[in-house]
Amino acid sequence: MEETVITAEEVALDSSVLGEATKDKPNGKDKHGIVYIVPYGAISFEDVEEYTKSQIVGDRVQELTRIYQDLVWNIMFSDEIEEKTSAMTALTKEFNSRVNDVIAAGDGGVGIVGGVLQFFKDKLPKKKEAHESGLMIWKEGNRYRWMSIYTNKFRDEDSPPEILAEAGHEQFVKEVDGGIHPYPELWHWHTPGTRWGVSDMMHFDKETGFMVASGMVDIGHEAEAEAIMAMDEPIKTSHGMPEEFIKREDEDKTIITNYVSREISDLPARYAANQLTGFRILKEVEEKMIPEEKKAYLRKAGLTDEKIGEIELEMDAKAKEAEGLEFKEADAVEEPTETPVKVEEPGVEEVPVYATREEVAAALTET
């Protein structure tokens, strides 16, 4: 007997399909081969069926998300697609439409609502979870190209949590494309002197709230690209923003309305401020020495101990130079001058001189 296969679309469009399929379920498996699980909190057969439906809807959303990610890479890889921004925008709209249709059908037709089953609905991927942040590298001709979804418009996990406003992303892309600011460089873990690439394309997607950047790996840094590709630990990306370019909302200082990204960094996933992506505000003077944990990561990324030592020397020199400038500026501050006040010197009291007995006797003799 041919086994009946029920698709997620059928369930999303007609809840009775699953209702028919879940009749007569001996030993935890119905006659059509659907495995069901009795979740904690379920108190009726209807609860179990609702849970099963929610799982199918969730699986469908995850499947659409994986397909979307693969299509994004295809667009970026293709040499035939010149208008990559337009293609990305069209794909994102289609993706959002399909996900919303599945979730809407799950809410209305399947009835994943309220009560003890609300947490099933919460398991469905949210719109902002449509991407895995990280770094993708591939061969383009004789060189390596990289691509990263490196920031978004959602709050990070720093204290206090900060957020980059949508308008700030749009303005930065406009200014970079207009030549006002250079395209961000590719660094290792926000460490000066570790540049190994530079971006040549940036795109902000309003539908998902993510920023995408792509560029070439610098010639001579191919070993680092290969080391990153071979890493077995999760990698995320974060971008560094010089403090001088940051503007914040007057009413809420945790909302950044204007910024400039100077670099995009690969780093261990556990250090990203944002679960999806992250950012770091760059101070004028950073570390003088590289912490041991960073050194270990840089070695994994393909840097030699000799190179790391050279970077530390450069960092130390820049820090000393900055300290010298600060010291000179402090010395250059003029102290307020006071008008001199003339002070009268106290008069010297003359000591009276008395004649001696001999002088008096001599004077009397003369007279």
Task: Identify the bridge partners of residue 140 per DSSP, sorted by sequence position.
Answer: 143
How far, in Å, CA of 38 to CA of 90, rounded? 40
Q: pLDDT tier at 299 (50, 70, 90 boundaries)?
A: very high
Query: Tell me, what's the pLDDT at 329?
Result: 28
- For the whole model, what pTM was predicted? 0.50
In terms of average pLDDT, the best of 152-166, 224-238, 244-258, 313-327 is 224-238
Query: Tell me, what's the pLDDT at 84?
Result: 73
Q: How many CA atoms lie within 13 A of 246 on its CB side?
A: 19
Question: What distances in angstroms separate CA 239 from CA 57, 108, 164, 242, 290, one per listed residue?
Answer: 35, 41, 12, 10, 18
Query: Tell me, what's the pLDDT at 316?
Result: 74
Tokens of 62: 């995850």
Question: What distances in angstroms separate CA 248 from CA 39, 174, 252, 283, one per listed residue?
Answer: 46, 19, 7, 17
Pairing assessment for the beta strands 263-268 and 185-188 based on DSSP bridges: parallel
In 10 A of CB 45, how many CB atoms? 13
Alpha carbon 259 to its chain centroid, in Å, reads 13
Question: What distances in angstroms separate CA 316 from CA 88, 145, 304, 306, one per listed residue?
Answer: 43, 32, 18, 15
**Residues 6 or more apart in contact with residue 280 via CB below 8 angstroms:** 190, 238, 239, 240, 241, 265, 273
In 10 A of CB 237, how many CB atoms? 24
Q: Which of 48-62, 144-158, 248-262, 278-292 has the lowest mean pLDDT?
A: 278-292
Q: Which helix (H) or strand (E) holds 248?
A: strand 247-248
**Closest-CA residue to 146 (of 117, 183, 179):** 183
Question: What distances in angstroms separate CA 223 from CA 214, 220, 249, one per listed residue?
Answer: 19, 8, 43
Query: Tell me, what's the pLDDT at 354?
Result: 56
How far, in Å, CA of 312 to CA of 320, rounded? 12
Q: Which of 131-145, 174-188, 331-345 has the lowest mean pLDDT?
A: 331-345
List, for residues 161-210, the tens digit of each pLDDT value: 567 777 888 888 889 888 999 999 999 988 889 999 999 888 877 766 77
Higher-confidence position of 288 and 196: 196
pLDDT reading at 348 higher than 60: no
How far, in Å, CA of 332 to CA of 33, rounded? 83
Task: Identify the bridge partners of residue 312 per DSSP, sorted by sequence position.
Answer: none
Higher-confidence position of 252 and 323: 252
How far, in Å, CA of 291 to CA of 107, rounded? 50
List, for residues 203-241, the tens digit of each pLDDT value: 877 766 777 888 899 999 999 999 988 888 888 888 888
Query: Tell me, what's the pLDDT at 357?
Result: 62
Query: Tell me, what's the pLDDT at 219?
Result: 95
List, for residues 102-137, the tens digit of each pLDDT value: 777 665 333 332 332 333 334 333 433 333 446 788
Q: Per-residue pLDDT averaged across 329-351, rounded?
A: 48
Contacts 24+ apart (CB under 8 A), 118-126: 120/39, 120/50, 120/51, 120/54, 120/55, 121/54, 123/54, 123/58, 124/54, 124/57, 124/58, 124/61, 125/58, 125/61, 125/62, 125/65
pLDDT reading at 323 higher than 80: no
Task: Identify the bridge partners of residue 281 per DSSP, sorted by sequence position.
Answer: 241
Decide: 269 and 143 in contact? Cβ < 8 Å: no
**Sequence ranges of the domains in the chain:** 8-128, 132-328
**Closest-CA residue to 55 (of 18, 89, 90, 91):** 18
